[in-house]
Amino acid sequence: MYANKEVKIINFDVEEGVDIKDSISKGFIGYKGAGLTKFGDNRNRCFVKANNFTSSIISSFLFEEIIHDLESFIGKLQSSEVTPIFFTTPTYKNYNIFLSAKVIEENTKDLLRITQKYNLEYWNYVDSDFFEKSNFFDSNHLNKKGAIFLI
């Protein structure tokens, strides 16, 4: 793939299930298999993960700074003739039922506002029925098989 080129591996922390030496596809290193010990069929585990996500979003006091940084980054990309595409990754249905509808709605509105302002595409897979359990590493991360559908 990289004939006559030395490939340097940059060491950085990754989550369990990710192999740092694995191939990168479109900027992503996928999870391998399914993290069965972490998977979200357990309703209590889904509730806890979803509640932690909601709490972190609602309590974010950095929102305006994050939006400013994001819009600045979009401007830099576009000035370099790079067109970003925004997407919301799918999450497993048993996890979705515990997510705050208000948070999801606000996130979607914010992304739509930004993508419309900068004339960008937004692919929203958060409630997609297309993905099956076998496409997930855990309740809120796709595995390599599932990630193929996003590429």
How far apart CA 121 and CA 123 sit, in angstroms, is: 7
User: Is there a contact between 135 and 92 (Cβ–Cβ < 8 Å)?
Assistant: no
CATH topology of domain 43-150: Rossmann fold (3.40.50)
Q: What is the pLDDT of residues 72-93, one digit of tens each?
A: 999 999 999 999 999 888 888 8
Strands 141-142 and 136-138: antiparallel
Q: What is the pLDDT of residues 11-68, one digit of tens each?
A: 656 566 666 666 655 555 555 655 544 554 566 666 566 666 666 655 566 677 888 8
Q: Show me where the domains of the chain are located.
A: 43-150
- The structure's pTM equals 0.63
